[in-house]
Amino acid sequence: MQLRLLLQEYKNQLELDAQIMAEIEELLVDIPGSQELLKIKGIGIKAVAGFIAEVGDIGRFSSPKQIQKLACLSLKENSSGKHKGETTISRRGRARLRGILFNAVIPLLASNEGFQAIHSHYTKRDEHPLKRKQSVIAICCKLIRIFYVILKRGAAYDECKMLQDIKWYDSFAA
């Protein structure tokens, strides 16, 4: 009996989740630029809806750095006196926004060749290679910049243009 109740509760939860996702899809259609964000290979509805919900009106930001500060993806050094500690993110901003970005970047790295190239460069470069998690945070910042341009200016996403704008890409692609 208890197992049947748990299964019924599980089915009800799945139906509720499906209804919520359908409503989110309907609402995203009304937001300018959201359909362009969904065209990025590896970015899903939850990432776009979560980003827009946490950030709100993109027009109130004059640069993507302000959104980075909102998410508190800015770096700080843990040092005191002669002790020099590790450089980490400050974790003072919106934890949900950081989580949404981090959870959006992981599948993005698995399916998007452009972001894979950026991640590979960050982790394997000769001077100052980043650890994998540091690279993911740097790519979160890159994703914020891409989302900002698409939502603010109404630009279309172009992976080739994104990679050509990066200084090291010409030598990396050769």
Beta bridge partners of 171: none
Number of domains in the chain: 2
Tell me: do 126 and 61 sit in the same domain.
yes
Boundaries of domain holding 169: 34-173
Tell me: do 39 and 23 sit in the same domain.
no
Instruction: Give Rg (Cα) of the chain.
Output: 19
Q: Is the dihedral of CA 78, 143, 146, 150 positive or negative?
A: negative
pLDDT tens sequence across 153-162: 888 888 888 7
Tell me: do 39 and 90 sit in the same domain.
yes
| 104 vs 82: CA distance, rounded Å | 38
| 78 vs 86: CA distance, rounded Å | 6
Tell me: do 43 and 23 sit in the same domain.
no
Q: Are 78 and 56 in contact (CB under 8 A)?
A: no
Tell me: do 107 and 150 sit in the same domain.
yes
| 6 vs 169: CA distance, rounded Å | 53
Tell me: do 151 and 107 sit in the same domain.
yes
| 171 vs 174: CA distance, rounded Å | 5
User: If you average pLDDT over every residue of the chain, what do you get?
Assistant: 87
Tell me: do 101 and 168 sit in the same domain.
yes
Which tokens is 6 given?
A: 């748990």
| 39 vs 147: CA distance, rounded Å | 12
* Residue 141 in this model has a pLDDT that exceeds 70: yes
* Residue 102 in this model has a pLDDT that exceeds 80: yes
Tell me: do 6 and 68 sit in the same domain.
no
Tell me: do 85 and 60 sit in the same domain.
yes
Which tokens is 98 given?
A: 């950081």
Please state at what angle helix 95-111 crosses helix 64-71, rounded to 10 degrees. Answer: 110
Q: In angstroms, what CA-CA distances link 115 with 42, 119, 159?
A: 10, 6, 9
Residue 33 pLDDT class (50, 70, 90 cuts): confident
pLDDT tens sequence across 43-88: 999 999 999 999 999 999 999 999 998 988 866 667 777 777 777 7
Global confidence as pTM: 0.82
Tell me: do 26 and 38 sit in the same domain.
no
For the chain, give the percent of residues with pLDDT over 70: 91
pLDDT at 108: 93
Tell me: do 151 and 169 sit in the same domain.
yes
pLDDT at 168: 64
| 131 vs 122: CA distance, rounded Å | 8
Identify each DSSP E strand in the chain by its residue range.
75-80, 83-89
Tell me: do 50 and 3 sit in the same domain.
no
